[in-house]
Amino acid sequence: MCGRYAATATNSELVTTLKADADMTGAPVRTLLASPQEPPAGTPDENVAPTKNARVVVERLRRTQTGEPIGIERSLRLLTWGLVPSWSKDPRNAVSMINARAESVLTKPAFRQAVRSRRCLVPADCWYEWGAAPAGSRQRKLLFSMRRADGAPLTFGGFFEFWRDPTVREPGPLAWIASFSIITHPAQAEVEHVHPRQPLVIEPQDWDAWLDPCRDDAQSVMPLLSPSCQGRFVAEQLCSDRGGGNVGESNLFDYIGTGQLGAD
């Protein structure tokens, strides 16, 4: 799975690297968080957690007032991590849909339409997982950072959805929650000792095809759901769990420290 990741590039770096036409991270968006997001949404974050508003790249068809398509715009935007299906009655269920399995994403009712026509790229430096400690170790789990072996940034394959809040009568962006999920698949050999699953990483040569909103049938999407090659990743041990437990919003850096996360 993928339950935490780091995304420390600036918005201008992401716009340049991912060839976005516009930075829309300043646009008003809804949040599911009860307290202000830290660090603020739209800024570099070494601990991106579920229900945070995170930066993603999307492509949408631009249309005239009469609905005629006039081109495609690629933009950097803020979306809530944790999918809220359009038919959902409670957006708080988003935390249960932070990931979607590649094996079933094209057929599962909550995901199939979105993954066919509303895909996104999720920029990251690495993702975090708890892994089992070696036999005989005094620790039960170890925290790992998984990143590309060549040092290049990661771009996770995701998809997004829109949910209309029926309690908000006035139209506008705050009446909607735009949310996304990250696709996972069986872990590749070099990181499977940490966790049996990992996020789908889209290679640069496949960015255009992945984002293309006109590529909207299952047959054309299916080939993009398979990892392209082995040996792309490395797992770096960061710390022990001091006896067990989960990575939490407030305690992740108590364990690993921001200095270690910034190391090569």
Q: How far apart are CA 134 and CA 51, in angstroms?
A: 33
Mean pLDDT, the chain, rounded, equals 88
CB atoms within 10 A of CB 13: 13
**Is residue 241 predicted with pLDDT exceeding 60?**
no
pLDDT of residue 150: 95
**Is residue 247 predicted with pLDDT exceeding 60?**
no
Domain membership of residue 236 (yes or no) is no
DSSP-derived secondary structure letter, 201: B
* Strand partners of residue 2: none
Domain membership of residue 53 (yes or no) is yes
DSSP-derived secondary structure letter, 141: E
Domain membership of residue 136 (yes or no) is no
Closest CA to 155 of 119, 200, 194, 195: 200
Arithmetic mean of pLDDT, 95-101: 94
pTM of the complete model beyond 0.85: yes
- Cα radius of gyration (the chain): 18
pLDDT of residue 93: 78
CB atoms within 10 A of CB 115: 26
Token pair recorded at residue 179: 């949310």
pLDDT in tens, 32-85: 999 999 999 999 999 999 999 999 999 998 888 887 888 899 999 999 999 999
Q: What is the residue range of 158's domain?
A: 5-131+149-227
**Is residue 128 predicted with pLDDT exceeding 80?**
yes
User: Which uninterrupted H or E stretch holds 129?
Assistant: strand 126-132
Domain membership of residue 254 (yes or no) is no
Domain membership of residue 259 (yes or no) is no
* Strand partners of residue 130: 143
pLDDT of residue 242: 39
Domain membership of residue 144 (yes or no) is no
pLDDT of residue 52: 97
DSSP-derived secondary structure letter, 243: S
Residue with tokens 């599962």: 108
CATH code, domain carrying 176:
3.90.1680.10
**Is residue 170 predicted with pLDDT exceeding 70?**
yes
**Is residue 90 predicted with pLDDT exceeding 70?**
yes
pLDDT of residue 158: 99
Number of domains in the chain: 1
**Is residue 253 predicted with pLDDT exceeding 70?**
no
Arithmetic mean of pLDDT, 208-219: 95
* Number of H-type helices and E-type strands within the chain: 6, 13
> Which range (41-45, 180-184, 234-238) has the least confidence?
234-238
Arithmetic mean of pLDDT, 120-135: 91
Domain membership of residue 251 (yes or no) is no
> Which range (62-66, 94-98, 224-228, 229-233) has the least confidence?
62-66
Domain membership of residue 213 (yes or no) is yes
Q: For the chain, what percentages of helix, strand and coil (3-state, to nearest 5) are there?
A: 20, 35, 45
pLDDT in tens, 3-17: 999 999 999 999 999
